[in-house]
């Protein structure tokens, strides 16, 4: 059985954490790279629980055809209050702040 490892904030180099608008709809865009030389992105899952969107980047051992990069856009409905990352649920966006609340990551 394959063990699934979920990336946490310290495992990722974020290139962009930004609110964007497309065709009149609001989205939160996350663009980043895994900082594990032997790991690649298996898939990215999003789960909504009430107003919170949990983003989980599932990692797998590196193999041909896989990459360490990911780029997702999360629809921000009026009911969305925050976006959290990883199993630790670290906040990366909140409606109250309307910007990423963590350290500046888009350097």
Task: Report domain extents, the chain.
Answer: 5-90
pTM of the model: 0.84
Q: What is the pLDDT of residue 4?
A: 72
pLDDT average, residue stretch 87-93: 95
With b meaning 16 or more CB within 10 Å and e meaning fewer, what string describes 26-46?
Answer: eebebebebeeeebbbbeeee
- Residues 5, 59, 14, 79, Cα dihedral to 10°: -70
Beta-carbon count within 10 A of 81 CB: 14
Share of the chain above pLDDT 90, in %: 79
What confidence tens digit (pLDDT) does each residue in 1-26 have?
566 799 999 999 999 999 999 988 99
Is residue 96 very low, low, confident or very high in pLDDT (cuts 50, 70, 90)? Answer: confident
Examine the pLDDT at 87 and tell me if it is beyond 70: yes
CB 54 within 8 A of CB 80: no
């Amino acid at each position: 059985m394959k063990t699934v490892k979920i990336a946490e904030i310290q495992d990722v180099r974020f290139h962009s954490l930004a609110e964007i608008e497309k065709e009149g709809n609001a989205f939160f865009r996350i663009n980043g790279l895994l900082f594990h030389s032997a790991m690649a992105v298996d898939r990215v899952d999003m789960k909504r629980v009430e107003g919170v969107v949990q983003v989980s980047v599932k990692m797998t051992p590196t193999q041909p055809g896989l990459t360490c990069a990911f780029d997702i856009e999360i629809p921000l409905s009026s009911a969305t209050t925050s976006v959290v990352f990883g199993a630790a649920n670290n906040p990366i966006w909140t409606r109250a702040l309307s910007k990423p609340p963590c350290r500046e990551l888009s350097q």
